[in-house]
Amino acid sequence: MADLTCVDGEVEMTDPAWFHNREARDKSAERASTAAFSARTAAKVRRFHESLPQYRPTPLVRLRKLAGYLGVRDILVKDESFRFNLGAFKALGASHALFRAVAERLNLRADQRSFQALMNTEVKEQVAGITCITATDGNHGRAVAWLAMQLGCTAVVYMPRGSSAARVQGIREFGARVSIIDGNYDDAVRLAENHALKNGWLLIQDTARPEYEHIPRCVMQGYMTMFVEAFEQMGGVMPTHVFAQCGVGSFSGACQAYLVQRFGEQRPVFTVVEPENAACYYESMIKGNGKPHIVEGNLATIMAGLACGEPNPLAWGILHDYADMFISCPDEVTLTGMRMLGNPLQGDDRVISGESGAVTLGLLYHLLRDRKYLPAGNALALNRHSSILLFSTEGDTDPEMYRNIVWGLSTQKP
């Protein structure tokens, strides 16, 4: 755990804030099930994605020069800026969940549940009468709107106060009805839930609730295609460390569950990375009672895709039981990562990575080069033998923000 200091009789966490989960490797402890993320399920999900227009595996970039500079064996970055030409990984989860929801709403037989079957003229007429709804910080909503357009159904999207015009426009260009609410992301989720129930719409959300687990689980399973691709591109070789950014936890939870299923007790050391003002997993872990806790307020961070204050219950059990480290990062960490990926050492490929995509590389740099972070880096056993897998989960989905950051200009918009 991070060092603690005592101020006016109260315990205060010093910067950086990190929690080392020493129980993650306790073989005797009862653990959350990861059976829904088996190799068999991953293969089925991959086949679905392969049936979609524009499917291509995204690149796995090896930053050899940077690895040598930082003193580790290998740094590998899965570049999701190319995913379905949408600029982010979210299409994997949203497409799988919306496809399953539509097929089930229409009571299609198992042999009819393919993307091609939904393109049948008779079926498309039925799909046209369906409305789906979701809440988003940007990328998830754009992915839902994209597949809704492909299928021919209507999409309604709610976004939190302060959402950028570029992200709003990116969703509207796929024909979705977009509304910005006077509240944060979690408020938008609750509003979407209420309207789905009231109107009989399909709720496509990645946060589970009582009696609403199937679709969030489908979202999480959709992300497994990314992990399958990555390990194929690595030749099946296991990295020593995996870092995963975390909002509601669906992506990081799916990644951790996949690693448990594939490698068991020999799995890589896994680190959950969150923005400091929306670090609901880190805050829940330090409370130490085994329960998820909500972070309230405006959740201010430039990492819009990670500005979530309420853990997904499906991900919480997995990350609580298996993840090795939880780290809460200030925005400056992702600025570092964006600039390093956008201006690589000579010989390394450039990766265009947005605010939520680059935080893990920024953190890795600080863990290896910033004395304030060295205790956490040492706890993770980062050294010259380490091979680190990272995921750049989005490209420049807000081009103006990306340009300002990489150019070193103000990130505040007029």
Please tell me whether residues 227 and 192 are part of one structural domain.
no
For residue 413, is it within any domain? Answer: no
The full length of the chain comes to: 414
Number of domains into which the chain is organized: 2
Query: What's the chain look like in SS3?
Result: CCCEEEECCEEEECCCEEEECHHHHCCCCCCCCCHHHCHHHHHHHHHHHHCCCCCCCCCEEECHHHHHHHCCCEEEEEEHHHHHHCCECHHHHHHHHHHHHHHHHCCCCHHHCCHHHHCCHHHHHHHCCCEEEEECCCHHHHHHHHHHHHHCCEEEEEECCCCCHHHHHHHHCCCCEEEECCCCHHHHHHHHHHHHHHHCCEECCCCCECCECHHHHHHHHHCHHHHHHHHHHCCCCCCCEEEEECCCCHHHHHHHHHHHHHHHHHCCEEEEEEEHHHCHHHHHHHHCCCCCCCCCCCCCCCCHHHCCCCCCHHHHHHHHHHCCEEEEECHHHHHHHHHHHHCCCCCCCCCCCCCCCCHHHHHHHHHHHCCCCHHHHHHCCCCCCCEEEEEECECCCCHHHHHHHHCCCCCCCC
3 in any annotated domain: no
Question: Same domain, yes or no, for 56 and 149?
Answer: no
> Which residues are identified as catalytic?
90, 137
Residue 119: predicted pLDDT: 85
Q: Are residues 187 and 299 in the same domain?
A: no
Q: Is residue 5, in this structure, part of any structural domain at all?
A: no
Shared domain for 128 and 80, answered yes or no, is: no
pLDDT at residue 12, rounded to an integer? 38
Residue 61 lies in a domain: yes
Which of 172, 197, 215 represents a domain boundary (last residue)?
215
| The pLDDT value given to residue 347 | 98
Q: Does some domain include residue 266?
A: yes
CATH number, domain containing residue 267: 3.40.50.1100
Tell me, yes or no, whether 106 lies in a domain: yes
Range of the domain at 65: 17-23+32-88+223-406
pLDDT, residue 412, reads 57
Can you give the pTM of this predicted structure? 0.92
| Domain finish residue from 156, 189, 215 | 215
Q: Backbone dihedral region of 211: left (phi > 0), alpha (psi from -120 to 50 degrees) or beta?
A: left
137 and 62 together in one domain: no
Could you state, in chain order, the average pLDDT of each consecutive group of 10 residues for the chain (414 residues)? 34 68 92 97 95 93 98 98 95 95 88 79 90 93 94 95 90 95 92 96 92 96 98 95 97 98 97 97 96 91 92 97 97 96 98 98 97 95 98 95 89 51
Whether 6 is covered by a domain: the verdict is no
pLDDT number for residue 4: 32
Please check whether residues 239 and 366 belong to one and the same domain: yes
Q: Are residues 54 and 153 located together in one domain of the fold?
A: no
CB–CB of 154/177 below 8 Å?
yes
Q: Are residues 72 and 94 in the same domain?
A: no
Together in a domain, 167 and 150: yes
On the 0-12 / 13-18 / 19+ scale of CB atoms within 10 A, 349 is middle
- Do 83 and 95 fall within a single domain? no
Do 82 and 197 belong together in one domain?
A: no
Same domain, yes or no, for 335 and 276? yes
- Domain presence at residue 9: no
Domain boundary among 169, 192, 215: 215
